[in-house]
Amino acid sequence: MKKVPEKHKGQGIFVRCLKCKWQVKDECKLTGKHLSTCKYKDKHKYELLVHLAEDRRRQKILHTENFDEVLIENVKFRAEMKANRGNNGTLQTREKIKTNLFDLIVEYLDNLDGKNPIIHLNIPVAKRHRTNIALILKRFATSLRDKGYNLKYLDAKDVTDIEVDIFNRYVLSLDLAHSTYNAHLVGLKTFYNWIIDKKDYKINNPFKHTSLQFNTDKEVQIITQKEFNSLLGVVTPENGYMFFKNPNARQKGKYMYRDYLVMAFKLALETGCRREELVELKWNFLRVLPDGAECLYINNLKVNRIKTSKAHGKFKRPIPITNSLRTLLNEMGLNEKAGKDEYIIERPKGVSAMKFAENISRAFNHYIKLVDTGNRKIEFMDLRKTYITFLTLKLGNKAKIFTGHASDDILIDSYLAKEYIAGDLSNFNMFEGKKSEAI
């Protein structure tokens, strides 16, 4: 247990608990019990304090366990403060500043949550995305606090390559997937862009030089017709029970079967929709173009979020009504439901769009494990990759018109109709490139 010897008290050396943020005394501030019972002794660190003019002071947290080293650091710290008159930007002032990271993080998350009373400053995002950003920023704060930083007294401009490296090493220690690691760096870069653009703080983005990781072993893969047909065959009530790996879990399993799953999987393959787009498809999205071609016009989810921070907006993308998609829609009741403001996949009452989308993708991931895929891990998103692959085989570069890639502008009806007719998509069937039978 760390203590400052009696003869060295009064020299600006203390012990601070990084858990409760209090200086360590005989009593634990969290429990009110004797310090010997504290569960966070590993969070007790030596702290150096130097009082400056104008009721200000500087602090420095040390991570050494050797008190002799503490004495040496104290002498150096005081000499440094005297030489620089306490203006060393890498150390933290106890005088609270308006641009401290703690308050900026709170304000940013409030804006993402739509809580800013100034409406135009809010950044509406999906609840799940806001939750992920909150976790990333919490980890950023944790990585710095573990090194002795207090975010209430750390100016956003004082985050340099040193602090970025601390966060980077912390995230790497979590052994996350490549995409999750990248999301952490992108999340912090976006947060700092918000500070610069929305708070008008004239600073550089310390995360702009960070590099993303790429999984060079991962290949783009598609589901074959044989695998897809096998998948449809195993989607039964009998196969619907998913057992958890943890034998000690109170809940031994979850029932995944729903009567809409087969049609949902088929519709995902035939439209190439992302799961959030799939559950928003309605019968009145069907549109007849001037040249007689038909499309489902949907919100371009990705582009709208990039351009307007909202899922719905002026940016649309068309889904061509191919021969195999029309067959499927007819099977799902097109003749009776055409033009109605109803979801093509009927959503259970009381279930949000996000939850519904997650249920479908989780069910897919459960049932695909019952199919022989040759040791390949097929996921729900691979249905979209399959759609894009076969559409590209048919249309070449023109396929981007229908996939939403590199196509930010609203499409002109006549242009779209010509591309549609040129590709002869009214006669197109999925897996056509393999000369396969219709699903």
Q: Per residue in 186-229, pLDDT tens?
A: 999 999 999 999 899 999 999 988 887 765 455 567 899 999 99
Quote the mean pLDDT of the chain. Answer: 80
Amino acid 427: pLDDT: 75
Whether residue 437 is predicted with pLDDT greater than 50 in this model: the reply is: no
Domain with CATH 1.10.443.10 in the chain: 225-434
| pLDDT value at residue 149 | 87
Q: Tens digit of pLDDT for each residue in 10-34?
A: 888 988 888 777 788 877 777 777 8
64 pLDDT band, cuts 50/70/90, is confident
Is residue 425 over pLDDT 90?
A: no
pTM of the model: 0.55
Residue 23's pLDDT is 81
Question: 27-31, 53-57, 149-153, 170-174 — which is least confidently predicted?
Answer: 53-57
> Can you tell me the distance from the alpha carbon of 310 to that of 258, in angstroms, rounded to the nearest whole number?
30
Query: What span, in angstroms and rounded, lies between the C-alpha atoms of 145 and 389?
Result: 47
What does CATH list as the number for 225-434? Answer: 1.10.443.10
pLDDT tens for 288-312 read 876 677 888 887 666 555 555 555 5
Higher pLDDT, 330 or 148: 330
Q: Given pLDDT bands bounded at 50, 70 and 90, which one contains residue 139?
A: very high
Residue found by looking up tokens 């702009």 in the block: 208
Give 245-251's long-range contacts (Cβ < 8 A, gap of 24+): none
Residue-wise pLDDT for 315-350, tens only, equals: 677 888 888 999 999 999 999 999 999 999 999 988
Q: Output Rg (C-alpha) for the chain, integer angstroms.
A: 29
Q: Is the pLDDT of residue 423 over 60?
A: no
